Structure 1
Amino acid sequence: MTIRGEIGSYSLSSPQDAQQVADYLWNTYLGGQSSTRPLGDAVLDGIDFDIEQGTDQFWSDLAKALAAHNSQKKVYLSAAPQCPFPGNGVANQLLPAVREGLFDYVWVQFYNNPQCQYGSGNADALLARWNEWTQLNTNQLFLGVPAAPGAAGSGYIPPDALISQVLPTIKSSPKYGGVMLWDRFFDQQNGYSNAIKGSIN
């Protein structure tokens, strides 16, 4: 089982700062050693980058520094960038690092951005951006969608529309990894994963 920790909004000031953060994460949560490990003997398998604020600088440095520990223990790296392509401002802080192919999994958030999400029964904008994301140097690419109308500000796709309008196209990509739902609470309330699980592979 893979268990990852998540980095939220944060700004890195330099490559040296990125290295210090990587060392802290390795020693405190991953395979390193520290006297202040908050999870005790538990060891996380990786780190998820969910950066929506701050600058877009030095995330590649952080990912490279974390991946440098792979010779000791595999560190899985995942990213949850927003769907605008190319990103601008805080809309997509991770695009430069994603372009470098540093992540094992990329869960693109196809919601809360009208220019690249499902809307008014139409999936054209979403599919156009998906095709652009597949051109990047990524490994497995996941379609991130809200699990219920209340899970995000916009971009909810009814399960039947996902199955009929979106999945047939995106599953043709060799980079397709599956569907990411935000979030588990809303999924349990709405039954979204149960409705689509027979169609995602």
Structure 2
Amino acid sequence: MDTKRQALLLLLVLTIFPFTIKASSSGGIAIYWGQNLGDGTLTSTCDTGNYEIVLLAFLNVFGGGRVPSWNFAGHCGDWSPCTKLEPEIKHCQQKGVKVLLSLGGAIGSYSLSSPEDAKNVADYLNAKFLSGQSGPLGSVTLDGIDFDIEGGTNLYWDDLARELDNLRQQNSYFYLSAAPQCPRPDHYLDKAIKTGLFDYVLVQFYNNPSCQYNQANGDATDLLKSWNDWTSSVLPNNTVFMGLPASPDAAGNGYIPPNDLISKVLPIIKQTSNYGGVMLWDRFHDVGNDYSNQIKKYVKRPVLRFVTKVSEAIVGSISASLNSMFPN
């Protein structure tokens, strides 16, 4: 290959290779925390070393002029100051665990009444949870906001995502995640997810028989088909997590025994370029069933091997193109 082709090949590889690295997430576990005192503390949760993301569940009253309120099931009173979580949140972040505030949940009173209402909610979340200023959780800068919208209306969640994105572009970057049900399109979050602004899409593959694991016969066909539908429908930079119950009684149905997950599911979904890992509902059930401990080493993807394989394919394709452009 002559000097001109070598230089052009090097330039193209250096331009493309960072995107190859980004696409190859190593895989991790996200966990919801806050719905049972049996969760343990945030400190003990993060000290397990099992989790990449902890989602505080839930801010379940907001929008439409409502006074914001949360349900942390005894960890904190109903909207009493919960500044005791400040050192625990910072402890998790120091250990490299991202801590996000989850909006919504199955029980609560929340909705957005207009684009202006969405902007007001975004400004509130930014000021109270994302800016480091004094707020209900103390002076914390959470790593992002999660949309677990399962009630109210399906209006203006896309506006809220755009308003939050505007704020993170102006100030410090924070993450956005969404937790839709696995049937597509999700009733509440479809328009929001189509904005492409969510770093993480934590799809709930449970309580939805049409797109979940069939434990009765050990069949993963519907689950894997739905996974492929989701991972191919979102933007490549939207990392998808497979959301699962952490124990048989964590959800009505959809539980996958750890050995089945390890042998039948993970080897397939880890091949997806925008695979992010596994989301578990929830910490309380994970404590009782030890689920994350059993699966954590299998959730990770061998990053270097994946990057090398993709890079070799890219370089080969570029080299072939250059040979045709600059024949000897």
Taking structure 2 as the reference length, what is the TM-score of the superposition? 0.57
Q: Does 1:26 align with 2:122?
A: no
Which of 158, 164, 168 is equivalent to 2:257?
158
- The aligned amino acid for 2:145 is I
Distance 1:73 1:160, change over 3 A: same
**C-alpha distance after superposition, 1:17-61 (max 9, x if no partner):** 101111111111111757xx2122122121111001122221111
- The alignment partner of 2:196 has SS state of coil
Structure 1 distance, partners of 2:297, 2:174, is: 30
Out of 144, 150, 153, the residue aligned to residue 55 of structure 1 is 153
The higher relative CO (CA closer than 8 Å, separation ≥ 6) is in 2
Which residue of structure 2 lines up, in the alignment, with residue 98 of structure 1? Answer: 193
Is the CA contact (8 Å cut-off) linking 2:247 and 2:289 kept in structure 1?
A: yes
Identity of aligned residues (%): 57
Secondary structure in 2 matching 1:21:
helix
Contact 1:146 1:155 in 2 (8 A): yes
CA distance in 2, matches of 1:130, 1:57: 26
Structure 1 CA distance for aligned equivalents of residues 228 and 191 of structure 2: 17
| 2:193 paired with 1:123 | no
Q: Larger C-alpha radius of gyration, 1 or 2?
A: 2
5 Å-filtered alignment, 1:32-71, equals 37-70=135-168, 71=170
How many residues are matched?
195
> Which residue of structure 2 lines up, in the alignment, with residue 3 of structure 1?
99
Using the alignment, how far apart are the partners of 2:116 and 2:132 within structure 1?
Answer: 19
Distance in 1 (CA, whole Å) between partners of 2:172 and 2:265 is 37
Match of 1:195 among 274, 285, 294: 294
CA contact (8 A) 2:112 2:118 kept: yes
Find 2:230's aligned residue among 126, 133, 142.
133
Alpha-carbon distance, 1:136 to partner: 2.3
- The SS at the match of 2:102 is strand
Decide whether the 8 Å contact of 2:132 with 2:140 is kept in 1.
Answer: no
Deviation for aligned residue 1:146: 0.5
Deviation, 1:188, is 1.3
Deviations 1:88-112 (A, max 9, x none): xxxx411221122111111101000
Higher helix share: 2
TM-score normalised per structure 1: 0.92
Q: What are structure 2's unaligned runs of at least 5 residues? A: 1-92, 301-328
